[in-house]
Amino acid sequence: MGVSLKWGNVMKLTIENLTKTFGEFVAVNNINIVVETGKLLVLLGPSGCGKTTTLRCIAGFERPNTGRITIGDKVVTDPQNGINLPPEKRGLGMVFQSYAIWPHLTVFDNVAYGLKMRKWPRSKIKKRVEEMLELTGLQGLGSRPAPMLSGGQMQRVALARNLAYRPDVLLLDEPLSNLDSKLRERLRFELREIQLRVGITAVYVTHDQSEAVSLADKIILMKDGLIEQQGTAEEIFNKPKSAYVADFIGSANLVPAVVKGEEGNSYLLETPEKVQVKAKKNDSAFNKGQRVKLVMRPENIYLSKEKHDGWSVNSWQGDVIVPNYLGTQTRYVISLNQRRLFVTMLGSSQAFQANEKVYVNIPPEEIQVLEE
Ligand SMILES: Nc1ncnc2c1ncn2[C@@H]1O[C@H](COP(=O)(O)OP(=O)(O)OP(=O)(O)O)[C@@H](O)[C@H]1O
Ligand SMILES: [Mg+2]
């Protein structure tokens, strides 16, 4: 990482009771969001859940029905009190999926654009643009015409242009989704590095859970205009509140089961396929006879050829249906009394073949019990 570029005007973003309807349709349903100073918040969720609408309300491109939006101590939206600042008065930077750069200008002039509009003196512009080109890895490309850039470079220009005037908050809407997967992954880390280096408060919209997990200080998972769960990536991964969350983040196995009893701080459960499962109790309480869903992460299940002495519980015999070798890991589809389970084993060698008998092991503390 180069020299620190932390700027002083980093702001907290607060959204209170935001609702946006289109006709009868409620796209965003009374949500509350706080993004702490210098943090990166990811709005995550499936297509149509209201991510872009929320971002456009923050940016000032949509007028919400209700909702107060505050950047630092400046109220930018408050329809009850007739406040709705235009986008250019909100002090925001914005990067979208489409490469919003000027095709008739060079890289340098694209990055300088906002500074010229703000009537900065030429020498100050030059210094800032060079700083931004260095920050975004575009050194030496200043005189290149914008159309002669790759997709990844164009998004770097868009980012540099939107950071040049040091906005208070940076908004990003699926900025990497037009790029190929390898570049997307690399730029994801670069983006995070840049955000940390300048210390800017940011809101990042994506429907890609792996992007969300690798970028976010905090994730808000949305569903039908509502917040389903919010927390750190780790909290959402390890303590999903609902089957919807568990299913959206990662590719969890969701196994139906019935509570048969309790033993110490564990539940004893049974699946419809008569597999006996022990799972550690969590925050919610379940009664005997209650139907629940068990979350088993493919990464937390361990396959072995022999039954291990140490595995006294949750060690079942199953069959390998499909091994899917991926180089750094192998994903298996396993059948346990006809119940299909996905299992991920890390490492570059494939341990099991199709039709092989295996033991399927998972510790009780790695199983989450959720309401059905
Ligand atoms: N201008 C509009 N007029 C009518 N309906 C709209 C308008 N803009 C958005 N919507 C609807 O509001 C809902 C939320 O849209 P939004 O663009 O916020 O979704 P999103 O979460 O960003 O989805 P995606 O991942 O597909 O971009 C959708 O059902 C969409 O059709
Ligand atoms: Mg969208």
Residue 8, pLDDT score: 67
Q: Tell the residue nearest (CA) to atom 18 of ligand 1.
A: 50
Domain 251-371, architecture per CATH: Beta Barrel (2.40)
Residue 251, pLDDT score: 80
Residue 5, pLDDT score: 65
Residue 52 Cα to ligand 1 middle (Å): 7
For residue 368, the cross-strand partners are 295
| Fold type of domain 13-244 | Rossmann fold (3.40.50)
Q: Tell the residue nearest (CA) to atom 31 of ligand 1.
A: 48
Instruction: Kindly tell me the sign of the dihedral angle through the C-alpha atoms of 289, 291, 295, 301.
Output: positive
Substitution site in 51, 171, 173 for ligand 1 pocket (most atoms within 8 Å of beta carbon) = 51
The beta-carbon contacts of 217-221 under 8 Å, at least 24 apart in sequence, are 217/36, 217/39, 217/40, 217/41, 218/35, 218/39, 218/40, 218/41, 218/42, 219/41, 219/42, 219/44, 220/33, 220/41, 220/42, 220/43, 220/44, 221/44, 221/45, 221/245, 221/248, 221/249
Residue 1, pLDDT score: 45
Which residues, in sequence order, are CB contacts of 274 under 8 Å at separation 6+? Answer: 337
Q: How far apart are CA 273 and CA 233, in angstroms?
A: 32
Residue 156, pLDDT score: 92
**Residues of the chain where predicted confidence (pLDDT) is lower than 50:** 1
Residue 48 Cα to ligand 1 middle (Å): 5
With a 6 Å cutoff on the Cβ, whether 24 touches ligand 1 is no
With a 6 Å cutoff on the Cβ, whether 227 touches ligand 1 is no
Residue 135 near residue 5 (C-beta atoms within 8 A): yes
With a 6 Å cutoff on the Cβ, whether 22 touches ligand 1 is yes
Q: Among candidates 110, 111, 75, which has minimal Cα distance to 90?
A: 75
Whether the model clears a pTM of 0.75, i.e. scores above it, the answer is: yes
Q: Nearest bound ligand to CA 27?
A: 1
Q: DSSP secondary-structure letter at 301?
A: -
Residue 52 Cα to ligand 2 middle (Å): 4
Q: Tell the residue nearest (CA) to atom 16 of ligand 1.
A: 50
